[in-house]
Chain A
């Protein structure tokens, strides 16, 4: 049997994509999930704040995932949990393995890649010192605490101020641990402002901006760390050292889209995000293979993952029913100065509209986002504040796309004077 759509990953991205494809008329859909249940990382995100945009109410992670899992009921969408996808090919075969059925090769007319992301580890940033137990990523700690019910430490220093680190600062405190510091190498936080307030400030946890860990001590278990202030070159400044006695270091130093399957399939990646390079309808360089969620770029809010993944599901249905979209005269999207990355990289000339996501590289006060076609300004949007921790979105309507004469548009972020 050939599936009309196989979705790799049963987290929020995969669930939304499968449901959207079903709504658009596909009937033979399979979701493959490596964990024993659907929901992905949302299952360990037991805090609230999910769904404010999409459901207009505040849900916890498991509740948010639960709504989509419930929607699967009666749709006939097949789910295969506890199943690892080992290989995806460009002719849309999916090689997978599980304890019941063994090694299988499944065929599909379309595929949505929704594998999510993983955390950067200690090695990625080469933190010097000893290598004892008690150094773990914030997400791994979150799993131990929220899913397995185990505590991972008593006195904690958190390196990095990404959202998971901030959330875990609060969570560890509520579980009785003492969080001594949150240390961020950049002069600003990488997380959402609301998390800085609700997870650090409300619990009197100091945030050390422009600081980093320069030494980890302890032979078998962490016994302490030294942090130091860093200069503009991010190198430690002598004399600024502060020691902490702690038994745990949690790392929240960035997320990387998990694209080993994508890379092995020879599908284009964007070196800036390590994510899948996509078109505005979430199609990859291989027609019929789509990608959405954190496997494309790391989102700050799951609501946007859902939105983007619905696009992928709709596009997969369109591909199965109507065939390939023309890639002629495509519009390439480029990032201007201080724009870190752009999603999507390409827009079909006939697209009805296109939503562009990006992150800025530094903090902006009163500023303006400009989308240009050569020297011609296509759109301009004002912002009171922009930060690398918060994703920016610009919607280009059909009318604006019609106005594009060249084959390339560029997104700029600039400060404006009063």
Chain B
């Protein structure tokens, strides 16, 4: 019997696991994919919002500002790539200047530190490539960029190191309540728990429906992106948003923590699992983006991707108990990534009020190391190579990732089972060649380390096999 079962290990589930694992509790995390954070958490704008956008009084507003503060601390403790670069909401007309004035007031009401309006001259100094038509902007210095996937992974890993149990490839099929305990039927083990947290992202309403009539509905909305090479990474210095108007929220242009440039998203209703890209959407994103930064060179694009937002029909986060000791953390749309730790903090408190015993562990591990070899000085690099020669072998040439870092990923608390799992942990294949050169080498390293058959190594999720057998010459050899 677990004290708490968390359904879904995206950013929300991972944050809950991280917060709960500091108490003497038996925790199960159920994740249907073969790795953590495989849906919305890995395909979004990668931004920790400052918190001026949500209307005061909403849960979005409440948890965004608090989540922003917590993100900074957590990323530092858990070695997550994070940079507080500030954001700009750019206005292109007098009408839009008025709108950013409203956002300024909202920011103040939401307790966002340091928000102010910058005029054209200062804006141009802050962003040399900004459109000449930009009149001014709302500047929020506390907005940050983050590696969202690593943020989720780091919290999930820390929970696992603190004894939370992660069940991957485990899809929830039914939930019943027997004598006050929840029984969760899955494609694998049956899990019994006193409390359940539903953090199933775009699928949250389907999970709620297993225990009660949901009082919200997830209306999934797809957003598509361009990720450009580092050669375009200096095209923006801050997160550059466009002013929301009757035609929507506009698209953003921002550097990423890896030094690339991210451009997007649009917003169109979609299926929950449709992460395909579409020409019309990509064209829309391009067209909108050059309004802010006309000189973006889209020839330097290295990847397109689509994320699906878990928008709730209530317009706000849908947080509450849908049954006794069954807590929904649903509708975690933007600013969900920013709000996640604040939501988790609140969830722990809500479970505590329902009688969950919150007794702190004496030996809680609240740190995580991640060696990023290329960021170290020459002396430290030589020391590491001396200790383990694999650090001297650069496997991913575009991102300068060493074999040592790949071996670290393979030995980590939530070991990767796919090339993309290594990519997300070590950073291989993230660059301009997109794994063309290093893919075969990493496959070899994985096969040797895990004693896997080559044909069993996956690109990403279950079913994403890479190889279909041996060549004739290898078979005959």
Enumerate chain A interface residues (CB-CB to B < 8 A). Answer: 34, 82, 84, 86, 97-103, 118-119, 121-124, 126, 128-134, 136-137, 139-140, 143-145, 147-154, 175-176, 214-216, 219-221, 247, 260, 263
Given A128-B282, A129-B276, A150-B474, A144:B463 Cβ within 8 A: no
When the two chains form their complex, are residues A219 and B467 in contact, meaning their CB atoms are under 8 A apart? Answer: no
When the two chains form their complex, are residues A130 and B397 in contact, meaning their CB atoms are under 8 A apart? Answer: no
Interface size of B in residues (CB-CB distance below 8 Å): 59
When the two chains form their complex, are residues B400 and A86 in contact, meaning their CB atoms are under 8 A apart? Answer: yes
When the two chains form their complex, are residues A128 and B433 in contact, meaning their CB atoms are under 8 A apart? Answer: no
Bitwise interface map of B from 446 to 466 toward A, beta carbon under 8 Å scored 1, else 0: 000000001000111111111
- B386, B434, B440, B454: the one within 8 Å of A102 (CB): B386
B-side binding surface: helix, strand, loop or mixed? mixed
When the two chains form their complex, are residues B433 and A119 in contact, meaning their CB atoms are under 8 A apart? Answer: yes
When the two chains form their complex, are residues A133 and B459 in contact, meaning their CB atoms are under 8 A apart? Answer: yes
B295 to chain A, nearest CB (A): 14
When the two chains form their complex, are residues A140 and B277 in contact, meaning their CB atoms are under 8 A apart? Answer: no
Chain A residues with Cβ below 8 Å from B227 are 123
- A34, A103, A260: the one within 8 Å of B385 (CB): A103
Decide if B278 is an interface residue (CB 8 Å cutoff): yes
Chain A residues with Cβ below 8 Å from B462 are 220
Chain B residues with Cβ below 8 Å from A121 are 302-303, 432-434, 436
Chain A residues with Cβ below 8 Å from B390 are 99
- B393, B433, B473: the one within 8 Å of A149 (CB): B473
Interchain residue pairs A-B with the least CB separation, the first 8: A149-B474, A133-B459, A220-B463, A99-B392, A84-B394, A99-B389, A133-B464, A220-B464
A-B contact pairs, 14 of them (CB 8 A): A98-B393, A99-B385, A99-B393, A102-B382, A103-B381, A119-B436, A124-B299, A126-B282, A134-B466, A149-B477, A150-B471, A214-B279, A219-B273, A220-B463
When the two chains form their complex, are residues B277 and A247 in contact, meaning their CB atoms are under 8 A apart? Answer: no
B126 to chain A, nearest CB (A): 26
Q: How far apart sit A179 and B436, CA to CA, in the bound complex (Å)?
A: 21
When the two chains form their complex, are residues A102 and B381 in contact, meaning their CB atoms are under 8 A apart? Answer: yes
A-side binding surface: helix, strand, loop or mixed? mixed
Q: Max chain B CB contacts within 10 Å: which of A119, A148, A176?
A: A148
A85 to chain B, nearest CB (A): 9
When the two chains form their complex, are residues A126 and B304 in contact, meaning their CB atoms are under 8 A apart? Answer: yes
Decide if B470 is an interface residue (CB 8 Å cutoff): yes
Q: How far apart sit A143 and B397, CA to CA, in the bound complex (Å)?
A: 16
Residue in B closest to A97 when the chains form the complex, CB atoms? B392
Chain B residues with Cβ below 8 Å from A220 are 459-464
When the two chains form their complex, are residues A126 and B385 in contact, meaning their CB atoms are under 8 A apart? Answer: no
Residue in A closest to B470 when the chains form the complex, CB atoms? A149
B262 to chain A, nearest CB (A): 13
Q: How far apart sit A92 and B190, CA to CA, in the bound complex (Å)?
A: 64
Chain A residues with Cβ below 8 Å from B467 are 144, 150-152
Q: Max chain B CB contacts within 10 Å: which of A82, A126, A143, A263?
A: A126
Chain B residues with Cβ below 8 Å from A216 are 276
Decide if B275 is an interface residue (CB 8 Å cutoff): yes
Decide if B208 is an interface residue (CB 8 Å cutoff): no
When the two chains form their complex, are residues B386 and A140 in contact, meaning their CB atoms are under 8 A apart? Answer: no
Q: How far apart sit A147 and B458, CA to CA, in the bound complex (Å)?
A: 20
Q: How far apart sit A152 and B433, CA to CA, in the bound complex (Å)?
A: 18
Bitwise interface map of B from 434 to 445 toward A, beta carbon under 8 Å scored 1, else 0: 111101100110
Residue in A closest to B278 when the chains form the complex, CB atoms? A128
B136 to chain A, nearest CB (A): 33
A34 to chain B, nearest CB (A): 6
Residue in A closest to B279 when the chains form the complex, CB atoms? A128
Q: A132-B459, A150-B454 are in contact. List 5 more A-B contacts (CB 8 A).
A: A118-B436, A118-B437, A119-B433, A128-B276, A134-B466
